[in-house]
Chain A
Amino acid sequence: MRHVAALVTVTALILGLAACGADEGAPAGTDEAATGTSFTGTVRIGAALSETGKFAVEGRDSRQGYDTWVRWVNEVYGGIRIGDRSYAAEIVYYDDESDADTAANLVQKLIDEDGVDFLLGPYSSGLTTGASAIAEANNVLMVEGNGTSDTMFERGFRNLFLVATIASDYTKSAIEAVAARGARTAVIAYEDTSFPTAVANGARRHLEANGIEVLAMETYPKDIQDASAIMTKFRDLAPDIFVGGGHYNDAVLFVNAAKELGFVPDGMLITVGPSNPKLIGELGEDVEGVLGPTQWEPVMAYEGPYFGAASDYAAYYESLWGEQPVYQAASATASALALHLAVEAAGTTETDAVREALYALEADTFYGPISFDERGVNTAKPMGTVQVQDGKIRVVAPGEAAVADLVYPLAGSSEGGTASTAERLAQMLINGIALGGMYTLLVLGFSIIWGVMGVINFAHGEFVMIGAYMAWLANDIWVVDPFVTVPLVFLVMMLVGFVTQRLLVNRVIDRPHLVSLLVMFAVAIILQNVMKVVFSADFRRADTVLDGVWQVAGEVTVPVTRFWILVVALVVAGGLSLFLSRSRLGKSIRAAAQNRETARIVGIDVAKVYAATFAICIGITGVAGALVSPVLAVQPFQGPPLTLKAFAITAMAGLGSVRGALGGAMVLGLVEAGLAIYIPQIGTNLAVVASFVLLVVALVVRPQGLFKGLRPVDATAA
């Protein structure tokens, strides 16, 4: 009967939760009209925005943009005038958590339950696609300024309006400007998702329309950590212009990779990033001269009768929020404004009339001219182009909005020619070995821990990440070179390892693999998100004096930083190997790895051995992180791909085998470099998959591992 009672309680709980769930949590806040003026009523507008998740920053900016309009309409303008009455504006917000399903669902809720008259768009094309589909199905108008992918406007929708410049035209003014200055060849790299693809395809069109030859067009996967393979390929083609597209973090990767490889084209155009002052803060003088599109800047020369000039709008915005507006905010305000003007022109909130008014709208605003074509796209407003000059962001195109001249070609641009086949091969080998060196250092700690203790450290990548952040912090605050931080990082990480081992790992050592795997996986999730809360998800990068390239022969270069990483890796591997075979502690470690019970019998303090092993290995792993901080993006989520690579290499090559780690790392590095360089277009995407395919193939073909390690791998044994 006890069982029955428990089950009934559980059932009731579930039903109760289901009923509660029907009411999806409190709305994120509504804005009420100021009580000063008397309004006849309210026009209710709904918006799903990202308050949490990966678009939280842009979501906040958008919300401030929408609220700017609300405050202005209610307090300055005197309300929305419909006929001879004034109506207060009200926006109902919900947090879409940067998730497309949630955004769509919330829009449905806004329509059904909150009964909004109109909708304003969420942030990003991904979310706007689904949300607008709901709006269209329910015949509710949505005006937006932050989802610009062309595909959204090819669906024949009648209820979606975009005030910003559409993605395919992002690069138009920049390309026209560099074409006018003599650019003849270009390369394009883009992330293979909706928005960057639209931008890249548009870029190709504009390049060709301006007589510039596109030498190569490559994609890269969404979670790319390292753009050097693509940049190497491009450098060998010696183009005049580089066009790169993705999101903010990709800008960090591109500039970094270009610098690492000594690739300085005459012009570098990056789709998202250069208009954001944060990038200059992160990359300093490396980003000098880089071009980028911008929907809007406060210094542009636009003006209109509503908010005044762009600078007036910026001042008003600052008075409300204490900071200068970014273009996402301006786009948001402009969307709301367009809707507002259409309602007033229609004289009603009735959907069909307002829609006609939107199609007919022609307005000059602080944001630029607004006029929608039959798709609902504002084709009157050109995309601006900025360039980083002397550490400042300056608008250089198009002519009517420009405040500075375009600098072209960039200072220090390379004169190099295209690479020959032999040179390409040599470069690939060098890149592969360099990559292998990096992987060796990254894998050693993981492999030894698994080999000695039988623990699969699924938080391995996170320890790398912590080491990387340590080096970056030292670099950022005290201008200390990452290579110099090594001893300190090693000691600190040894301590971290020791503590982790005592607290957690000890408890799970005797249990089957799955348990330790899951516990470490949980630790990984915790660490990732703690770091994200503390440091934000922005990509960071440390600076080292050991950077740049050595020109070896013709077009072949050796990346300096990676060379030194390789050196350190070999030293560490050699040292570790000697330590394990010669020293007393090392021998104890090997004995404990073979057979714990026998080791105990012989008098080895296995607990101490384990503690020492774990500590040393985490120390090495932290150092690896510190050393790759100038090369790979430092960010809270850099861990998992590295952990999985470590697993693949170790399982393939032998548990606890130093030689195996080195060999496996080299094989993987060469395969990845080869794929990235020799396979056109999708090479980088395939390289990501390489480690897994290699692992699966290796395990199925030779389950006992390729090298002999401290502990046998037998993937087919129970």
Chain B
Amino acid sequence: MTATRPSRPLPAGRPGGPRLRRVLVRVSFGLLVALAVLPALPGVGDSALFTLTLMLTSVAVAVNWNLTGGFTGYVDFGHAVWFGTGAYTTAILMSLQTNGPQVGWAAPPAIALGAVVAGALAAAIGRATMRLKGPYFSIAMLGTFVAVREIVRVSGGLTGGGVGLTLPPYLNRPLFYYIQLALVAGLVAFTWWLRGTRFGAALVAIREDEVGAEMRGINTTRLKVIVFSFAGFSTGLFGGLWAYQNTFVDPDIAFVEIRTVDAVMGTMLGGLGTVAGPVVGAVVLFWMREVLWANLLDYHLIAQGVLLIVIVLFLPRGLVGIVDPRGASITAMWRRWLGRGAHPETQEEES
């Protein structure tokens, strides 16, 4: 068994608590405003906005992954499958054609339905795979990811097979940027709120000790599947948006392993099981990759591998954990996690 870490309790009345939370809310708000006015700055053109939109997508996927992986403790290695499902559903609906005029759906309902389909699929699959624990669950989800990709590939009639589907093009980078910004902000705010509810607390209990939680009256199966379905739904939503902006999907760009890897690494880098963790981590990882790619060419993946080892061995609580000692620790995965606890009024606040 791993040794117990020394506790750093925050005694009642310590200023770091609620004040920290107020500061954080202000900083986040400021950040949001900054991001909102960014497009108006000179020199920020369409391609810069596109890059930022991709960054926001990464953040969204990481935040969603964190719901299942960080809060609930079910490390999903196939998370990108929901992204692809949403993307493909949207693409299929928008590129529908009969022999006559185009009957393709408009974007908003297509994307919405993409999210719904992804969520429904997650509900069905979660019910089966969440019976498994630890690495078995992780690998079963990876298997699901591979299987769905191949099924999409061979269902040429519906999905266009390996050749893919083209969506009606609509290039308005600023619009997509704002939509994505609003959705991501909403998602993060939702996660923040969720963690303070009993539901959020129950998720943490499931992560900390599922058997104990079950024994204390928490219907673990139902809660797990609910959060898994939501994560699937939400990820599918961003998948649909991405498909529309990309104007093209094929099995190998809609279902990419690296999207899951980025979500996992970003969340771990930022701090598993925290609210800010996946946001911070995904952003840092995104920019690191841009920089690494530009300068290190062939070596950037090697660097990422090294980074992963460093994170896992030396930075188990993530970046947020440097600032806040009560972040979740990767190394104590099954026992020593931190969500934010049952109610927000306690003194010990973390970011």
Interface residues in chain A, defined as those with a beta carbon under 8 Å from any beta carbon in chain B: 3-4, 6-8, 10-11, 14-15, 17-19, 21-26, 51-52, 97, 100-101, 105-106, 108-109, 112-113, 129-130, 133-134, 137, 151, 155, 191-194, 197, 219, 221-222, 456, 507-508, 510-515, 517-519, 521-526, 528-530, 532-533, 644, 647-648, 651, 682, 685-686, 688-689, 691-693, 695-696, 699-700, 703, 715-718
Residues of B within 8 A of A511 (CB): 2, 331
Contact A703 B132 (CB under 8 A): yes
Residue-wise, chain B 233-259 has the 8 Å CB interface mask toward A (1 for contact) of 000000000000011101011000000
Contact A695 B162 (CB under 8 A): no
* In the complex with contacts A7-B351, A523-B305, A529-B301, A716-B139 CB distance below 8 A: no
* In the complex with contacts A692-B146, A693-B143, A522-B308 CB distance below 8 A: yes
Contact B132 A700 (CB under 8 A): yes
Question: Which of these, A97, A194, A219, A515, contacts B293 with CB under 8 Å?
Answer: A97
Tell me how far the C-beta of B226 lies from the nearest C-beta in chain A, rounded to whole angstroms: 20
* In the complex with contacts A18-B52, A526-B302, A718-B134 CB distance below 8 A: yes
Contact A197 B136 (CB under 8 A): no
B12 within 8 A of A: no
Question: Which of these, B150, B153, B154, B305, contacts A529 with CB under 8 Å?
Answer: B305
Contact B334 A718 (CB under 8 A): yes
Residues of B within 8 A of A51 (CB): 297
B304 within 8 A of A: yes
Contact B305 A525 (CB under 8 A): yes
B215 within 8 A of A: no
Contact A525 B24 (CB under 8 A): no
Tell me how far the C-beta of B32 lies from the nearest C-beta in chain A, rounded to whole angstroms: 11
Which chain A residue shows the least CB distance to B302? A529
Contact A101 B246 (CB under 8 A): yes
Contact A3 B308 (CB under 8 A): no
Question: Which of these, A105, A194, A647, contacts B50 with CB under 8 Å?
Answer: A105
Question: Which of these, B48, B129, B134, B333, contacts A24 with CB under 8 Å?
Answer: B48
Question: Which of these, A26, A129, A518, A685, contacts B312 with CB under 8 Å?
Answer: A518
Question: Which of these, A26, A197, A524, A696, contacts B144 with CB under 8 Å?
Answer: A696
Main DSSP-derived SS at the A contact region: helix
B128 within 8 A of A: yes
Question: Which of these, B47, B156, B287, contacts A109 with CB under 8 Å?
Answer: B47
Residues of B within 8 A of A113 (CB): 45, 47
Residues of B within 8 A of A515 (CB): 312-313, 330-331, 333
Closest 3 CB pairs of A and B: A192-B162, A692-B143, A525-B305
Query: Given the complex of chains A and B, what is the CA–CA distance between A685 and B251 in angstroms?
Result: 13
Interface residues in chain B, defined as those with a beta carbon under 8 Å from any beta carbon in chain A: 2, 16, 20, 23-24, 27, 30-31, 34-35, 38, 41, 43-48, 50-52, 54, 75, 128-129, 131-136, 138-140, 142-144, 146-147, 150-151, 153-154, 156, 161-164, 166, 169, 171, 209-211, 246-248, 250, 252-253, 280, 283, 287, 290, 293-294, 297-299, 301-302, 304-309, 312-313, 319, 322-324, 330-334, 351
Residues of A within 8 A of B54 (CB): 101
Residues of B within 8 A of A129 (CB): 248
Question: Which of these, B135, B140, B312, contacts A522 with CB under 8 Å?
Answer: B312
Contact A7 B146 (CB under 8 A): no
Contact A514 B150 (CB under 8 A): no
* In the complex with contacts A511-B2, A515-B312, A194-B135 CB distance below 8 A: no
Residues of A within 8 A of B248 (CB): 100, 129-130, 133
Which chain A residue shows the least CB distance to B253? A100
Which chain A residue shows the least CB distance to B54? A101
Contact B351 A514 (CB under 8 A): no
Question: Which of these, B38, B163, B247, B253, contacts A133 with CB under 8 Å?
Answer: B247
Contact B169 A137 (CB under 8 A): yes
Tell me how far the C-beta of B160 lies from the nearest C-beta in chain A, rounded to whole angstroms: 10
Tell me how far the C-beta of B88 lies from the nearest C-beta in chain A, rounded to whole angstroms: 15
Residues of B within 8 A of A7 (CB): 23-24, 27, 323, 351
Contact A222 B287 (CB under 8 A): no
Some 26 contacts from A to B, beta carbons below 8 A apart, are: A11-B30, A11-B31, A18-B38, A21-B51, A21-B287, A21-B290, A22-B44, A25-B294, A108-B47, A109-B47, A133-B169, A137-B171, A194-B163, A197-B161, A219-B161, A511-B2, A513-B134, A514-B75, A515-B313, A522-B309, A691-B143, A692-B146, A695-B140, A695-B143, A696-B129, A700-B140
Contact B309 A112 (CB under 8 A): no
Contact A221 B150 (CB under 8 A): yes
Contact B132 A715 (CB under 8 A): yes
Query: Given the complex of chains A and B, what is the CA–CA distance between A152 and B156 in angstroms?
Result: 18
Query: Given the complex of chains A and B, what is the CA–CA distance between A91 and B320 in angstroms?
Result: 45
Tell me how far the C-beta of B250 lies from the nearest C-beta in chain A, rounded to whole angstroms: 7
* In the complex with contacts A129-B248, A525-B305, A3-B351 CB distance below 8 A: yes
